Structure 1
Amino acid sequence: MEEPTEKRIRKTSTGSENDGTSYESYENPMDSNIYLTYDILRIVFTYLNGMDLGRAAMVCRLWLEAANHEKYTRGPDCFIEHYLHFTGKTRCIEKSNIKPAIGFFFIPEKIPTNIKGWIRDTLPQNCKAIMLYTSGIIINKEEIEYKAFPNIVCALLPEAPNVKINSAILCTEYAARTYQHEFSLSLFEEHKKKLIDMIDETLIPNHDESTCLIFLCNDLKGAKMATLLASAIQEYSGEDRITSLWGGVVDNIIFSRPYEYCIAVLITGSIQSWSIVVDRRCSTKEQVIKRLRLFKNQVKLKKHSVGFMFACKARGCGMYDEKNVESTIFKTLFPEVPLVGCFGNGEFGKNTMPIDEMDKKIEGKKDWYNQYSTIFMILTYG
C-alpha cells in the first residue's frame, strides 16, 4: 500500500528558553500565488490608480490581461486643481484612476511658467501633454472667465482599444517670424503636406469609426498660419473625411517645445465624435437651447464620454449678462458627460449635424474658422 505523503513539520517555541514547551504547526508546501486567480486579480486591480495599474500590467501575461480589462472599464478623468498640486510634492496626476495617453491642461494667467515642467514630470513617458494658456477656463457648469488663478482644468484621456492619437507641430517660432515679415509659400506647403500626410494615414471612417481633428494655435503669431491651413485641409478632405473639429486661438500654447504656435491632434479609430458651432446668431439662452437640443438628438453616447468647449471671449457674461449659461445648458442635456474647455480669440469647428432652418439662410459652405462662436465636441467610446 502506498504511504501518504508526510506534511512538513515546523516546531516553534512558545514559552521561555528554559521551560522547553513547544507546539507543532503545519506549513502548506503549495505556493500561495496559485490562489491569486484571474478573478481575484480583477478585484484587487479595481483599487489601484492608473499608474500602479500600469506597473502591475508588466508583471506577467495573466496580470497584463487582468489589468487591461480593468483599464478599459475606466473613462476620461477631468478635474480642476490648484496649480501647486501638480508639483513633485503632491502629484495629483499620479493619483488619477487612469494612465493617460494624452492630457489637455487649460492654464489661466499668472500661473508660474515652470508649471510645464511639473506637469511633464508627473505624466507617463509616452503621454502627450498639451498646455493651453488662456484668460478663462471651463469645467462642467462653471465658466471661470476671469480670475481663474490659481486653478488649472485638466482632461486626461486614457488608452482605448483600437484608438490612435497622432499629432503634428505646424508652426514654430521661426515660421511665425517668417510669416510676420513675408508670406512664404514653400513654408506653408511644407506644413500643409505634414498635416495631409497625417490625415492620409487614417481610413475613411465607417459607422463604427470616427476621425476627430483638434486644431490649436497661439494668438497673433500662429493664427494666420492656422486659418490658412484649416481652409486648405477643409478643401482637401471635404466635409466627410473629418468627422468632428474642435479648437481655437489661445494666448499661448506648449506641446513639446517652448515656442510652438500651431499644432494639430488627430484621434481616429473605434470612437464616435460630434461637434457643433454655436455661432453669433445664437445670442440668447433660448437659441442656444434650441441649437444644442438638435445636437443632442444626433449624439449617441457609449460607455465613456468627454465633452470639450471652446468659447469666444465675447460670449459668456458679456453676451448673456449671466454666468455659466452655455455650459449649464450643455450639462443639462448631457448630465453624464464631463465638460472641459477655455475661452479664446477665434474658434475652429464644424457642424456634424444635419442642416437646420437656421443654416439654410447661409449660402455656400461654412468655413472651419469661426468668430464670436462657441464650439462643442463630444468624444465617446467603449
Structure 2
Amino acid sequence: MENAECSNDSDSKASFVLSNLPEVVEKILSFLPTKMLLRSTCVCRLWRESARRILKTQQSMAWVTASELGAGEGHALVRDLARELEMVHVLPQTVLYVADLETFCGQEDTRERKKARRNSSAETAAALERLLPRGCQVVGVVAPGIVATPTASPNVRPLEVEEGEAGFALLFPNMDGVQIRTFCISNRSCSNKSLDKNKLAEAGLINNPDLKAVIVLGYGTWKAGFSRLLQDVLQPLNEKIIIIAGGFVEKLTSFNFQRNCLQDSYGVTGLAFSGAQVQGASVILCQDVMDVKTAEAAMQQLKAAGIPEKNTIGFMFACVGRGQQYYGNKMNVEADAFRKTFPTVPLFGFFGNGEIGCDRIVTGSFSLRECSSRLKDELIHYYTTITVLIHLGSTKEDYH
C-alpha cells in the first residue's frame, strides 16, 4: 500500500514538473529527434512553445549518405533517408540530393525500356520526396558517380563512388542570416529562344546584392540549345564577385515547384546562397594535377583562402575522366587530399561530363577572382575537378 502511495506521489511530482517548469521541459525535449519533437507539440501549450524554441536553434545542416554494393528493394538513398529522418535534429527546408544514374533510373538503355526507365526514376524520386516535410524545396539529380562523406560524422573519410548504388541528401534548415533558394531555368522558361530575365530575378540570381554563392547543375546538356541557355544564365552571374561552381549531370529527377522542368527539357538548376555571413572559395584542379602531391598542393591553395571551417560544406565536381583510372589506379585521391587539408569539413559532389567554376575567393572583407575575356574559358571546363568551400556563418548553440 505504501509503495502504491509513493508511486502516485512520484507520478504527481513528475506531472507537475512536465506541466509547469519550462526550463526542465525544454532540456528534456531537446534530446528528441526533430520528428518526435514535432509530435510532442500536440501534448500541451508548454510543450508546443518549448518545441518551437528548440527548433529555432537547430540551424546546422545535416546529411544522409547511402552506398551499397548489393541491390535491395528501392534505392539505397530512399531507404537510408527514411531511417535517418527519424533520428536527425533538423527540420529540412531545402534539400539537394544526388544519386547514381545506374540504379536510380534503371540500367536498361534499349529503346523499348526508355519509358520504363522514366517511370522508375519518377517513382523513386516521388518516394524520396514523400519522406520530406511538406513545402520543403527539393532539387534532385543523377550523375555517373558520387562523392560523399558518410552519414556518421564530418570527420569520416569522404568517398569517391564511381560504380554502384550510392547517393546523398543535404538537409538545410532555416538559418539566421542565410537564405538558400532553389532554382530551375529550363528551355520552357524561354520565349523565342531568349531567356526571360524575370526568371533569373525570381531565382535570386540577379538584383540580389546579398548573393554570395551559386551551385549550378546543367541537365540535358547534349540537347541543342543547352549551351546558349547555360551562357545566358552564367553571364550575369559572372559579372558579380560570387562563387559559381557545379557541373553537368545526367538528369534532373526532382524539382517540386516546377514540374515542367522534368519533361523532356534541358536547363540549369541548383541552389543560390545569400547572406552577409556567407563566404566561399573555389579552386580548379586542372590536367597538371595528376598525382597525390599535386592534388594536396591544390587543396592548400583552397586552404589559403582562409574560409572558416566550422559550419562549412565542401563540394567537389569532377570529370568522369578523372578518379581512380586517372590517378594510376589509386582510389579516392582527390577526396583524401581534401580531407587531409579540411578534416572537419564534409565533402559532397559527383562525377559528370563537364565542370563549372573558377579560382575565386569571396569573404566579408576580401574578394579575388581570376578573370578571362571569354566566359567559356573562365567557367566551363572539361577533364578538371572544381573544389569548393561554402561557409554558412555561425550558428546558435545546440541545446545538447
Aligned partner of 2:384 in structure 1 is 373
SS of the residue aligned with 2:331?
coil
Aligned partner of 1:163 in structure 2 is 178
SS of the residue aligned with 1:319?
coil
- C-alpha offsets along residues 183-221 of structure 1, whole Å, 9 cap, x if unaligned? x8733322x54124533666424xxxx521111122434
2: CA distance, partners of 1:14 / 1:291: 70
Aligned partner of 1:231 in structure 2 is 231
- Can you give the 5+ residue segments of structure 2 that lack an aligned partner in the other structure? 69-74, 105-119, 150-157, 362-366, 395-400
**For 1:57-72, what aligned pairs fall within 5 Å after superposition?**
60-69=48-57, 71-72=58-59
CA 1:200–1:345 in 2, change beyond 3 Å: closer, same or farther?
closer
**For 1:241-280, what aligned pairs fall within 5 Å after superposition?**
241=241, 243-254=242-253, 255-256=255-256, 257=259, 258-259=262-263, 261-262=266-267, 263-269=269-275, 270-280=277-287
2: CA distance, partners of 1:89 / 1:310: 23
1:48 aligns with one of 25, 32, 38: 32
Answering whether residue 357 of structure 2 is matched by residue 345 of structure 1, we say no
Shift of 1:337: 0.7
* TM-score, normalising length: structure 2: 0.73
CA 1:306–1:328 in 2, change beyond 3 Å: closer, same or farther?
same
Aligned partner of 1:19 in structure 2 is none
- Can you give the 5+ residue segments of structure 1 that lack an aligned partner in the other structure? 1-11, 16-21, 176-183
- C-alpha offsets along residues 114-158 of structure 1, whole Å, 9 cap, x if unaligned? 221111110011222222212211123311112x22x32222222
* TM-score, normalising length: structure 1: 0.76
Aligned residues: 341
**For 1:13-162, what aligned pairs fall within 5 Å after superposition?**
31-38=16-23, 40-56=24-40, 60-69=48-57, 71-72=58-59, 74-80=60-66, 83-84=75-76, 86-87=78-79, 90-108=82-100, 109-111=102-104, 112-113=120-121, 114-140=123-149, 141-146=158-163, 148-149=164-165, 151-162=166-177
SS of the residue aligned with 2:221?
coil
CA 1:203–1:135 in 2, change beyond 3 Å: closer, same or farther?
closer
1:313 aligns with one of 310, 313, 320: 320
SS of the residue aligned with 2:203?
helix
2: CA distance, partners of 1:221 / 1:14: 77
Structure number, greater radius of gyration: 1
Shift of 1:296: 0.7
Aligned partner of 1:195 in structure 2 is 200
For the 8 Å contact 2:62–2:170, the answer to whether it is kept is: yes
- C-alpha offsets along residues 259-287 of structure 1, whole Å, 9 cap, x if unaligned? 25322421211322222222233233322
Aligned partner of 1:213 in structure 2 is 214
- C-alpha offsets along residues 56-111 of structure 1, whole Å, 9 cap, x if unaligned? 56854443223322x13x43324225535625995433433322122222211123
SS of the residue aligned with 2:218?
strand
CA 1:278–1:160 in 2, change beyond 3 Å: closer, same or farther?
same
For the 8 Å contact 1:78–1:340, the answer to whether it is kept is: no
Amino acid across the alignment from 1:37: P
Amino acid across the alignment from 2:327: Y
For the 8 Å contact 2:99–2:142, the answer to whether it is kept is: yes
Amino acid across the alignment from 1:64: R
CA 1:363–1:90 in 2, change beyond 3 Å: closer, same or farther?
closer
Shift of 1:34: 4.8
For the 8 Å contact 1:202–1:268, the answer to whether it is kept is: no
Aligned partner of 2:113 in structure 1 is none
Aligned partner of 1:281 in structure 2 is 288
| Identical amino acids, percent of aligned pairs | 19
1: CA distance, partners of 2:191 / 2:93: 35
1: CA distance, partners of 2:41 / 2:324: 47
For the 8 Å contact 2:63–2:171, the answer to whether it is kept is: yes
For the 8 Å contact 1:85–1:91, the answer to whether it is kept is: no
Shift of 1:335: 0.6
CA 1:143–1:85 in 2, change beyond 3 Å: closer, same or farther?
closer
Stretch deviating more after TM superposition (120-129 or 196-205): 196-205
Aligned partner of 2:300 in structure 1 is 293
For the 8 Å contact 1:57–1:68, the answer to whether it is kept is: no
Cα-Cα RMSD: 3.5
2: CA distance, partners of 1:76 / 1:143: 19
